[in-house]
Amino acid sequence: MEQMLPLFWLVVLVGACGSGCGTTGNTSHFALQIPVEHSSLQATVKIASADVETNAAQLAAIGVFAWGKFNTNDLANIERSLRDTLSASQPGKAAEADTELRIHFVIRKYVLDASNTGAAVLACVAWAATDTKDKILYREQFYVARKLYLVGTLGMLKDSVHEGIVRRIAESSIRLASRPGEPLQPVALEHTFLSYEEAITDLPKHLVSMGSPLMGTASKGEARGFITAHDTSSTWNAIGGIPLLLPSGRATLEWNAAKPLGEIDWERYLATMTK
């Protein structure tokens, strides 16, 4: 029993923070430091559009409240973070350049799975860089995969995903602005992937919630967003009344929901924006 107590209090802490420590999935905005030779920038990089596809956001909550689903506030934070990152990376001379590189990005899929012992996100993002006449200079679709266990919040997890999105687009854009007319090789960046198959190798296949559903405000699914397990009170009594050490929910994660059908038709997308 003495060996079980540290785990007991660890789960107590996680369960308590999961319900009342600001872990509802709110994200923040930021500005990243992008390595750049200012003298090499030949164009001003600006964000022309930021969008999210219909039904892009999906959430699976295993034994916990349905918190953290991607929303318009998250999109606004990504856009602002990318704008601030690009602004900080461009000196005054580049910001006044005659040539302009316009960035368009779309959140195509954003899948968040969470329990009270861990969480993971797989996001699919498409972006394109154009000139002032909407000629496409570069296009890319990539995935960001992040996970955490026990220590952390949904907001921290999502922020780490957003940092991956911002850094990949910003670094690629700066390289384009530094070498106009030259082909751009995809940026190699940790936790970002060009294929769905690569991305899911970095993600869990299962998530488990520990403890009694009685730890929450409702034990029989009365609270919206709960996924509860069968009543195991007889088993809790058998191990000395410590329900926190038993799993209350388990799910096999279906990451294929983060894989969109095909790629964006950027010519059509840009044409609709000008109408």
Contact 86, 170 (CB under 8 A): yes
Which pLDDT value is given to residue 105? 98
CB atoms within 10 A of CB 196: 18
Q: Apex CA 65: angle with CA 60 and CA 68, to 5°?
A: 60
Cross-strand pairs, 254: none
Specify the number of domains making up the chain.
1
- Please check the confidence at residue 231 and state whether its pLDDT lies above 60: no
- Residue owning tokens 């926190």: 244
- Which two tokens mark 104? 């368009």
Q: Are 64 and 117 in contact, with CB atoms under 8 Å apart?
A: no
Residue range 39-54, pLDDT digits in tens:
577 889 999 999 999 9
- Structural domain including 167 reads 2-273
Identify residue 130 by its one-letter amino acid code. Answer: T
What confidence score (pLDDT) does residue 234 get? 42
87-136: pLDDT as tens digits? 998 876 555 566 899 999 999 999 999 998 999 999 999 999 999 999 99
Q: 236: pLDDT confidence band, cut at 50, 70 and 90?
A: very low
H/E stretch holding 64 reads none
Q: Are 211 and 219 in contact (CB under 8 A)?
A: no
pTM of the model: 0.81
Percent of the chain with pLDDT over 70: 74
Name the pLDDT band for 2 (thresholds 50, 70, 90).
very low
Pairing of strands 57-61, 44-52: unpaired
- Residue range 68-87: mean pLDDT, rounded: 97
Residues 6+ apart with CB under 8 A from 110: 52, 56, 57, 58, 70, 74, 121, 123, 124, 258
pLDDT (tens digit per residue) in 162-177: 999 999 999 999 999 9
Structure tokens at 17: 């923070």
Q: Is 223 exposed, middle or buried (0-12, 13-18, 19+ CB in 10 A)?
A: middle
**b/e 27-45 (16+ beta carbons within 10 angstroms → b):** bebbbbebebeeeebbbbb
Determine the angle formed by the axes of helices 154-178 and 72-89, rounding to 10 degrees: 40
Residue 175's Cβ-count burial label (10 Å; 0-12, 13-18, 19+) is middle
- Compute the distance between CA of residue 85 and CA of residue 79 in angstroms, rounded to an integer: 10
